[in-house]
């Protein structure tokens, strides 16, 4: 792997706020017999958020999960200074419970998801995530398994492609783009990002060419499906919530609307009391298990967006467990 400057390779989004929200759950234990707090970074990436947490809370034990072997290599180097406080698993975050079981961990005190594509994946042209550089049409976060974006485009009929662009990219020109791709692949296979971008640009009406890059939403839709991103989140988040200790906190940074809607809906369900209004006293077993820590979704401020434009679409939500499932 190319030598990289670990201090500049990646700027974690809302790093300070993430640490602040986690602080009450990860603060040092006053009881000497208490186990060290466990923090699970479900999207370890290059270790920026994890490094900040480990530096702030010297008792915390980290479990880092990532599917990208290149990211794990970088994070392992970055976090080596923390020694045996760090355990890393090469896995998708919907394997959350299995990872904890493998490390013999029953419950955790902080969980963080930083969803979407990473700077490493976007900036390395050969990964095929960027529509700004020509490269093989891959888009797999874990290059050791699964179909590529090129494979996906080969396998879909026009209706399936149109639905994919609508559902996962909110792409209004989905019918036009799907039709253009089907016509183009009948002439020659689509194997590179450059080929796909050319097809989409040619299919975009002149009146729409000013409304952002025509490939942006199509590339997002392909990436989400290739990596099972929404499916993995829908499996992983309930697992994380179930293994969170009382007083523990779960934070999610989402960058696209479908993921954020799922997180918002899930957090609303677990923080809402479902009981008849006429009850004078609410029994413990009917109390909500979690409480919201953020009012709506928190956004990056203007100064952070100026420093790191990739922070602009972030939506941060957080909850804290206040009651045991068995209470």
Is 113 labeled as ligand-binding?
A: no
- pLDDT digit string, tens, across residues 274-301: 666 666 666 666 689 999 999 999 999 9
Known binder of ligand: residue 114? yes
Residues 273 and 67: their CA atoms lie apart, in Å, by: 36
Residue identified by tokens 């020509």 is 134
Instruction: Write down the residue that tokens 């609410």 correspond to.
Output: 282
Question: How far are the Cα atoms of 53, 58, 169, 255, 262 from residue 297, in angstroms, in the given order?
Answer: 21, 29, 21, 11, 13
Residues of the chain scoring pLDDT < 70: 1-10, 31-33, 274-286, 326-327
pLDDT value at position 1?
Answer: 43
Query: pLDDT value at position 33?
Result: 55
Q: Is the overall model pTM greater than 0.85, yes or no?
A: yes
Q: Determine what percent of the chain is predicted with pLDDT higher than 70.
A: 91
Q: How many residues does the chain have?
A: 327
Q: For the chain, which residues make up each domain, given as ranges? A: 15-120+229-321, 143-226
Match domain 15-120+229-321 to its CATH number in 3.50.50.60, 3.30.300.20, 3.40.50.10860, 3.40.50.150: 3.40.50.150
User: Is 66 labelled a binding residue?
Assistant: yes
The pLDDT assigned to 31 comes to: 67
Q: Is 61 annotated as a binding residue?
A: no
Integer Cα distance of 37 and 27 in angstroms: 8
Show Cβ contacts of residue 160 under 8 Å, excluding neighbours closer than 6 positions.
Answer: none
pLDDT at 35: 83
* Rounded distance between C-alpha atoms, residue 271 and residue 274, angstroms: 9
- Total Cβ atoms within 10 A of residue 201: 14
Q: Which architecture characterizes domain 143-226 according to CATH?
A: Orthogonal Bundle (1.10)
Question: What's the token pair of residue 238?
Answer: 């309930």
């Amino acid at each position: 792997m190319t030598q990289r400057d670990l201090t500049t390779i990646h700027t974690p989004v809302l790093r300070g706020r993430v640490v602040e929200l986690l602080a009450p759950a990860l603060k040092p234990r006053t009881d000497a017999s208490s186990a060290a707090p466990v923090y699970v970074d479900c999207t370890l990436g290059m270790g920026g958020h994890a490094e900040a947490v480990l530096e702030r809370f010297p008792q915390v034990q980290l479990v880092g999960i990532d599917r990208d072997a290149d990211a794990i290599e970088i994070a392992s180097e970055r976090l080596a200074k923390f020694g045996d406080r760090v355990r890393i698993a090469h896995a998708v975050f919907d394997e959350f419970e299995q990872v904890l079981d493998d490390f013999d961990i029953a419950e955790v005190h902080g969980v963080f998801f930083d969803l979407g594509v990473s700077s490493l994946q976007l900036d390395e042209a050969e990964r095929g995530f960027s529509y700004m550089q020509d490269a093989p049409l891959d888009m797999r976060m874990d290059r050791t398994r699964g179909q590529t974006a090129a494979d996906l485009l080969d396998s879909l009929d026009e209706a399936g492609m149109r639905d994919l662009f609508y559902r996962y990219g909110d792409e209004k020109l989905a019918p036009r783009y799907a039709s253009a791709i089907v016509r183009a692949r009948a002439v020659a296979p689509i194997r590179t990002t450059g080929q796909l971008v050319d097809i989409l640009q040619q299919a975009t009406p002149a009146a729409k060419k000013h409304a952002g890059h025509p490939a942006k939403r199509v590339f997002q839709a392909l990436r989400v499906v290739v990596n099972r991103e929404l499916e993995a989140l829908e499996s992983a988040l309930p697992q994380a919530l179930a293994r969170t200790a009382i007083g523990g906190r779960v934070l999610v940074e989402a960058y696209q609307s479908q993921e954020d809607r799922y997180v918002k809906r899930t957090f609303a369900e677990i923080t809402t009391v479902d009981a008849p209004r006429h009850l004078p006293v609410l029994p413990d077993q009917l109390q909500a298990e979690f409480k919201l820590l953020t009012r709506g979704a928190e956004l990056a401020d203007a100064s952070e967006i100026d420093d790191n434009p990739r922070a602009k679409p972030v939506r941060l939500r957080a909850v804290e467990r206040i009651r045991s499932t068995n209470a």
